[in-house]
Structure 1
């Protein structure tokens, strides 16, 4: 299996008569792009707004981020979701780099939605402030989703994917600036260096909801319905997985994150040098205790069966999923697989609480990506895209309508106070993070 991703680096985005990529500039025919968005009759109103790094703009509620891409064979970039099923991670794709499509609610949000500041102090809290963003700002007629804390927002997220594919197709017939090639020999291939440790990456995707429409999808299949399985890392990078709409936002992995998963790319870069990269054990996060135990057992037995010496476990979420995270690490350690965990933590607003719901002495190598409850206070922004009041009104995971001590999240002057929880994909467990640890 060999995946080639041809990269086109976008330095500017503007509107024009024709959607095209020329001289490092992406030009968008707005009317044509909106016609792609409005293919779904549930979308009642929509607009596209371009924002750039450093713009004094606040975007909320942000629901999803997608990298614009296309496949040269004409297949959809998200098999089993936007089109027929095929095995992702093989063949040739083209990608517009340094930019994303953001799906933004025009009026209504939920606790899985987040906030992005493109400029000022708040920009440092999320990777997406550094991208050129095509904001799809839309509303729907789906009354059953309004005022629901755990909204599905399928219409907006699917529209964002269609828009990303439409934009990506403008470079289908062009020559890329560079080509990334991802190839991994089989686990039994004799070319592997037997002296190097064999390492697997365990991804615990968001899958806690037993109702349809909330969880991450693999080839369009709800991850709540699956058992841990071995996947080729190319499948993740190639569009096999899309983000869900349940996880508190700072903990969430967007579809853009899956398309570009930095930890996967790092393990690829070390393959044959410091490690033998075996692949991805794609796991899930469960509700009941027996489900958690079963998933941990499956992860450990897969790791043993492929001969893993070590594993990295990455958790999408916190709280209840911590039980899955720790159980998985313990099961791997019991199976003689040395394991490192990647997660955020919830130590409370004062930083004094237990960091994970469940702990174990065998989980002795964990990388923290930050505290979801860290307080963030930001001044007013001259421009707001979406609806600022959603942070306070709609139960976003880091916002509130009123607090006895702190008052409302959204103040009359437009300044905000919130927990890191509401920063869009802010904890960057996937590997974007530039955070560091300090001892006091």
Structure 2
């Protein structure tokens, strides 16, 4: 399978008469862009606000992030979700790099929603502070969700996908600044030199703990709570086959933007044929009942064994209850003789002294930490708030509480509520401080 990604690098974004990209400037016709948003009649009120790096802007509640892009070949973006169900992973994609569409609630937030600061100390917490953010700020008529801590946010999240595709269409017929090519042949077509390299799989554990539909991550539009672990070609992930869900403390969330830009998968692709034989992506899920956890871990091992894997990288979306799925998968792989590295965050308390994971095993002896969800942050007020700052304390944001917002507009919160701060896919720039 061969996937070509043509990149157009955004320097700035502004509003104008037409939606065009020229000399690094993305100009958006706001009226036409909002027409795409209002295609879903559940959206009652919407606006688009631009937030640039170093702006004195705070954005919350953020529900998802989507990269502006379009499929140039005869395929579809986000197959099975906002477009027809077709195979992903081949053809050509054009991408507006450096820009991002954020789905932001105008009034209602929840446990799974996050905060982004475009400047100041808070901006060091998440990669999204360094992108030019096109904020879709909207209300919906989903009144039954407004007072719920857990919200599906389906209308707004899917509107962000449609908006990102609308913006991406403006570079459909243009020549990109650069071209990335991702190509991985069928396993039986690899040459002898590649087959002699260590076989490695990437295991992506997607959040799927909600029983009702509409909350969990999607694979080709299919609720991951109803699936067994399955094998994907890496290109399928980079081409939009996986869409972020709406249940997960925000710092631990893997956004739709991060799925298609999964830095770990891209690095494994680059290492294929050089240091490793990259065998593919095993998409797994995170369950509630112990038997379900054991079943998924067993299937991950069976798939990896069938592929002849000698090494594995396991990425967990979330923490707490999912730590058991994470450790079980690592243990099963290690028992099969497959050397495994795990990537996850920690919940060590504000003082860093608590047990980092709910479940542990001596077999999990190679773990990469992406941060402490309980890290306490004190952030100065911002000149402008996009969205609704009160939602941080009022609506159960996983990092906020009553009293988080001070009289002067400054806030106190945990890293838990910073949007995608822990970046378990490797789109990350935090490091460990050694004491």
Task: Find the residue that maps to 1:265 and give its secondary structure.
Answer: helix
Query: Out of 428, 431, 434, which is 2:426 matched to?
Result: 431
Task: Find the residue that maps to 2:82 and give its secondary structure.
Answer: coil
Task: Find the residue that maps to 1:101 and give its secondary structure.
Answer: strand
Long gaps (5+) in structure 2: none
Q: Determine the C-alpha separation between the residues in 1 that align with 2:11 and 2:374.
A: 35
Q: Determine the C-alpha separation between the residues in 1 that align with 2:190 and 2:75.
A: 33
Moved segments of 4+, more than 3 Å = none
Matched with 1:404 is none
Task: Find the residue that maps to 1:293 and give its secondary structure.
Answer: helix
Deviation at 1:170, TM superposition (A): 0.4
Q: Deviations over 1:338-390 (max 9, x none)?
A: 00000001011111110000000100100000100110110111110001000
Q: Determine the C-alpha separation between the residues in 1 that align with 2:156 and 2:390.
A: 19
Q: Determine the C-alpha separation between the residues in 2 that align with 1:90 and 1:229.
A: 19
Give RMSD over aligned pairs.
0.8
State how 1:384-403 maps to structure 2 within 5 Å: 384-401=385-402
Matched with 1:153 is 153
Q: Deviations over 1:241-270 (max 9, x none)?
A: 100000000000000000111001010111
Matched with 2:352 is 351
Matched with 2:182 is 182
Matched with 1:263 is 264
Q: Determine the C-alpha separation between the residues in 2 that align with 1:193 and 1:143.
A: 55
Deviation at 1:318, TM superposition (A): 0.1
Task: Find the residue that maps to 2:188 and give its secondary structure.
Answer: coil
Matched with 2:78 is 78
Q: Determine the C-alpha separation between the residues in 2 that align with 1:224 and 1:187.
A: 29
Work out whether 1:37 is the aligned partner of 2:54: no
Matched with 1:51 is 51
Q: Determine the C-alpha separation between the residues in 1 that align with 2:354 and 2:344.
A: 16
Deviation at 1:329, TM superposition (A): 0.2
CA contact (8 A) 2:76 2:86 kept: no
Task: Find the residue that maps to 1:326 and give its secondary structure.
Answer: helix
What TM-score, normalized by structure 1, do the two folds share?
0.98
Q: Determine the C-alpha separation between the residues in 2 that align with 1:179 and 1:283.
A: 30
Q: Determine the C-alpha separation between the residues in 1 that align with 2:434 and 2:190.
A: 45
Task: Find the residue that maps to 2:325 and give its secondary structure.
Answer: helix
Matched with 1:420 is 415
Task: Find the residue that maps to 1:188 and give its secondary structure.
Answer: helix
Q: Determine the C-alpha separation between the residues in 1 that align with 2:336 and 2:360.
A: 18
State how 1:235-254 maps to structure 2 within 5 Å: 235-254=236-255
Deviation at 1:436, TM superposition (A): 1.6
Long gaps (5+) in structure 1: 402-407
State how 1:282-293 maps to structure 2 within 5 Å: 282-293=283-294
Matched with 1:12 is 12
State how 1:225-244 maps to structure 2 within 5 Å: 225-244=226-245
What TM-score, normalized by structure 2, do the two folds share?
0.99
Q: Determine the C-alpha separation between the residues in 1 that align with 2:190 and 2:218.
A: 34
Q: Determine the C-alpha separation between the residues in 1 that align with 2:410 and 2:190.
A: 60
Task: Find the residue that maps to 2:195 and give its secondary structure.
Answer: coil
Matched with 1:405 is none
State how 1:265-344 maps to structure 2 within 5 Å: 265-344=266-345
